[in-house]
Amino acid sequence: MQLAKAGKQVAVIERHESVGGGCTHWGTIPSKALRHSVSRLIEYNSNPLFNDGDRSRHLTFSDVLTHASAVIRKQSRLRGTFYDRNGVKVFHGEASFIDAHSIKVTREDGSVDQITTKQVVIATGSRPYTPADIDFDHPRIYNSDSILSLKHDPKSIIIYGAGVIGSEYASIFRGMGVKVDLVNMRDRLLSFLDAEISDSLSYHLWNNGVVIRHNETYASVEGRDDSVVLHLESGKKMRADCLLFANGRTGNTDMLNLQAIGLKADSRGQVRVDENYKTEVDNIYAVGDVIGYPSLASAAYNQGRFAAQAMLSGKCPSSLVEDIPTGIYTIPEISSVGKTEQELTALKVPYEVGRAQFLHLARAQIANTQVGSLKILFHRETKEILGIHCFGERASEIVHIGQAIMQQKGSANSIEYFVNTTFNYPTMAEAYRVAAINGLNRIF
């Protein structure tokens, strides 16, 4: 869009039948739509106003996917209109380099187009990592893309990989009443999070009946007619109706014929770029999952705009914000921005903590979303906000208020802002005022 609005002639090559990429079709959008539906189902089943407790409502995975499919169609159609409106031509097919200025597009019917261009952006995203020793063609073995075509209604599932995707799907399946075993290769869930938040998620999953196994690695996966058996290196065996393998992702570069332009991807299929999103080849840029960290749709939007500006003027006039918010759509949600307590302790920063428990907020009581809390970390002397950590319903929305104040320079970034401003009442945002007062009361 940035290049088209600047008057450039732009083409997009898309291998899928409709635009939107992995985010829209297999990743962010479908899993969040699924999560929303399951979250409402849990709310319905636990609310005596709607459910007298005699019989809880049950939905199959296919039922819930119907809603997700409608959202995907709307998103894809919307993105398609952006291209049409800005005169961007879309070629449907698989792209590969002939040389740095020529691209071959192979259509599904085998016909070939050739495009000549001045500059190229590689924005091919990533796909789930699928080790060769696991049979992903087996009807009971899935990755995080193929799980969206789950047809049967499992009573039990093993999720291998307890990262963001694995933890989100553990919440979704458990919310639908499926027995969930979550296998984690590390010693704690989502170790990049603030430890209290990670512990809260572990407790909440455990309290809801998810069995979490830490420090385990698979030895082999055995697909049977009626089940899947996971053999672990520790000698344990686990059995379930199906298995979701959600351990890592690989950049989509192996089909691009990068050697034709002298580019080499690393072992994870990612290409290296400089601060202007330029690869080692002068006219070729790359953005999104294919360049690695932070591998977020939110950041990729900005990377695309910044790369376009660099293509136009030779230099990015701006860069990604240092504190990129993290949104994890478990049930309840997790969101954070800035430093964790562990990082601040290691840096010997004299910080203090302000907390607000959701169960004390009128809005949370009204909505019956009382699980969770907001935590603000701030400097004891300067009152500067150093980190915001939130666990609970709507956490990924709530965090942005704190992020906005954190981004201010100098004295404008102060926890005292939350005490001195007036919030709508009753709202979840009011948690900031409660947490700020709680934190300032600790200062002596």
How far apart are the C-alpha atoms of 258 and 203, rounded to whole Å? 46
* Residue that wins the pLDDT comparison between 150 and 228: 228
d(CA 396, CA 159): 24
Are the beta carbons of 234 and 216 closer than 8 angstroms? Answer: yes
State the angle between helix axes of 431-440 and 395-406 in degrees (0 to 180), rounded to the nearest 10: 50
- CA 221, CA 211: separation in Å to the nearest integer? 19
CA distance to 118, 174, 288, 296, per residue, from 303 (Å): 20, 35, 7, 10
Taking residues 365-393, what's their average pLDDT?
96
129-142 pLDDT, tens digit per residue, is 999 999 999 999 99
DSSP letter string over 294-314? T--HHHHHHHHHHHHHHHHHS
Give the span between the Cα atoms of 76 and 90, in whole angstroms: 13
pLDDT for position 45: 86
CATH number of 2-125+250-313: 3.50.50.60
pLDDT tens-place string over residues 2-14:
999 999 999 999 9
Round the average pLDDT of the chain to a whole number and report it. 94
Backbone angles phi and psi of 202, in degrees to 5: -60, -45
| Cis before 332? omega within 30 | yes
Q: How far apart are the first and last CA of the chain?
A: 53
Please give the average per-residue pLDDT across 45-65, as a whole number. 78
The pTM (predicted TM-score) of the whole model is 0.93
Q: What is the pLDDT of residues 247-298, one digit of tens each?
A: 999 999 999 999 999 999 999 999 999 999 999 999 999 999 999 999 988 8
Which amino acid is located at 69 in the chain? Answer: S
Longest dimension (CA), the chain: 74
Instruction: Considering the chain, tell me which residue range(s) the CATH 3.50.50.60 domain(s) occupy.
Output: 2-125+250-313, 141-247
What class has domain 141-247? alpha beta
292 vs 272: CA distance, rounded Å: 9
pLDDT digits (tens, 9 = 90+) for 211-257: 999 999 999 999 999 999 999 999 999 999 999 999 999 999 999 99
CATH topology of domain 332-440: Enolase-like; domain 1 (3.30.390)
Spatial CB neighbours of 266, under 8 Å, sequence gap ≥ 6: 272
Which residue type occupies 54? D
How far apart are the C-alpha atoms of 207 and 285, rounded to whole Å? 47
Q: Is the pLDDT of residue 346 over 90?
A: yes
b/e sequence 59-97, b meaning 16+ C-beta within 10 Å: bebeebbebbeebbeebbeebbeebeeeebeeebbbbeb
